[in-house]
């Protein structure tokens, strides 16, 4: 099956619909599928639910979809540097389901492995635990979290081969692999596509079995908080 598409719009053709659930990779400004997010903005798809660690910043990442009011709900760990995200949440314009970072990553990974739920101690005794099943194991209380099963996963990797085997770079590896796993369809944007067989199998972070469509493109290299040491 041919997985390589010419651009983001072509790779998303036939996949988008209003009200869909999308898992998106990225951590801070690292590993954000910016080309695919821009294509979703251009498509005008609305009432979206996103599972993503954060929403980027106002003018980058999921933030561009918040500006156009295409996002109905965020399942996230961090509001962070995005003023529009914070404004919409506090004004009641945006639904927000807070998840601890490790819990969110595991919910994605669990969905990708076909696991509908798991127990964790994280959040016990806090508002995170409200309304969730509690169970004791070996004298310790745990809460049940559900796996995430998204309609679509959009992620960014460093390299892909033609079959979709992926390599991520540094912090971009944090949320992209589990996000890729939990989508019914996974679309990936990469900086470089190499011939099949040219990647060392021991260096592959995510096997191509999870990847359905690939695009190659140019990406911005943004810094969230630039710090310069004084002389």
How many Å apart are CA 38 and CA 60, to the nearest integer?
9
How many Å apart are CA 26 and CA 77, to the nearest integer?
12
pLDDT digit string, tens, across residues 12-24: 999 999 999 999 9
User: 223 pLDDT band (50/70/90 cuts)?
Assistant: low
pLDDT surpassing 70 at residue 4: yes
pLDDT surpassing 80 at residue 2: yes
Look at residues 170, 167, 120 and name the one whose alpha carbon lies nearest to residue 145: 120
Average the pLDDT over each of 27-36, 51-60, 134-143 and give the range with the smallest value.
51-60
Tokens of 155: 């992620």
**pLDDT reported for residue 86:** 86
How many Å apart are CA 103 and CA 138, to the nearest integer?
21
pLDDT surpassing 90 at residue 142: yes
pLDDT digit string, tens, across residues 55-108: 888 788 899 999 999 999 999 998 777 888 888 988 999 999 999 999 999 999
pLDDT digit string, tens, across residues 146-204: 999 999 999 999 999 999 999 999 988 999 999 999 999 999 999 999 999 999 999 99
The C-alpha R_g of the chain, in whole angstroms, comes to 18
**pLDDT reported for residue 228:** 80
pTM (two decimals): 0.92
User: 227 pLDDT band (50/70/90 cuts)?
Assistant: confident
DSSP sequence for the chain: ---B-SSHHHHHTTT--TT-EEEE--BTTBT--HHHHHHHHHHT--SEEEE-S---BTTBTTHHHHHTT-EEEEEES--TT-HHHHHHHHTTSSEEEE--HHHHHHHHHHHHTT--EEEESTTTTSGGGTTS-EEEETTEEEEEEEPP-EEEEEEEEEEEETT--EE--GGGGTTHHHHHHTEEEEEEEEEEEE-TT-S-GGG-SB-GGG--EEEE-------SS------
**pLDDT reported for residue 231:** 66
How many Å apart are CA 38 and CA 50, to the nearest integer?
15
How many Å apart are CA 22 and CA 71, to the nearest integer?
10
Mean pLDDT for the stretch of residues 192-217:
96
């Amino acid at each position: 099956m041919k997985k390589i598409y010419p651009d983001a719009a072509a790779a998303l053709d036939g996949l988008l619909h209003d009200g869909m659930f999308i898992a998106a990779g990225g951590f801070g400004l690292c590993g954000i599928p910016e080309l695919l997010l821009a294509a979703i903005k251009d498509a005008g798809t609305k009432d979206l639910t996103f599972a993503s660690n954060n929403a980027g910043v106002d003018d980058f990442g999921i933030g561009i979809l918040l500006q156009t009011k295409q996002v109905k709900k965020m399942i996230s760990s961090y509001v962070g540097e995005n003023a529009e995200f914070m404004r919409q949440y506090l004004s009641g314009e945006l639904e927000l389901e807070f998840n601890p970072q490790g819990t969110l990553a595991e919910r994605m990974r669990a969905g990708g492995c076909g696991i509908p739920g798991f127990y964790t101690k994280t959040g016990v005794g806090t508002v995170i635990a409200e309304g969730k099943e509690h169970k004791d194991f070996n004298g310790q209380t745990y809460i049940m979290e559900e796996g995430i099963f998204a309609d679509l996963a959009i992620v960014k990797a460093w390299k892909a081969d033609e079959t979709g085997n992926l390599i991520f770079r540094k912090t971009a590896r944090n949320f992209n692999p589990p996000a890729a796993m939990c989508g019914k369809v996974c679309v990936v944007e990469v900086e470089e596509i190499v011939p099949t067989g040219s990647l060392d199998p021991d260096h592959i972070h995510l096997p191509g079995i999870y990847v359905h469509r690939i695009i190659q493109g140019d990406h911005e290299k943004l810094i969230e908080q630039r710090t310069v040491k004084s002389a």
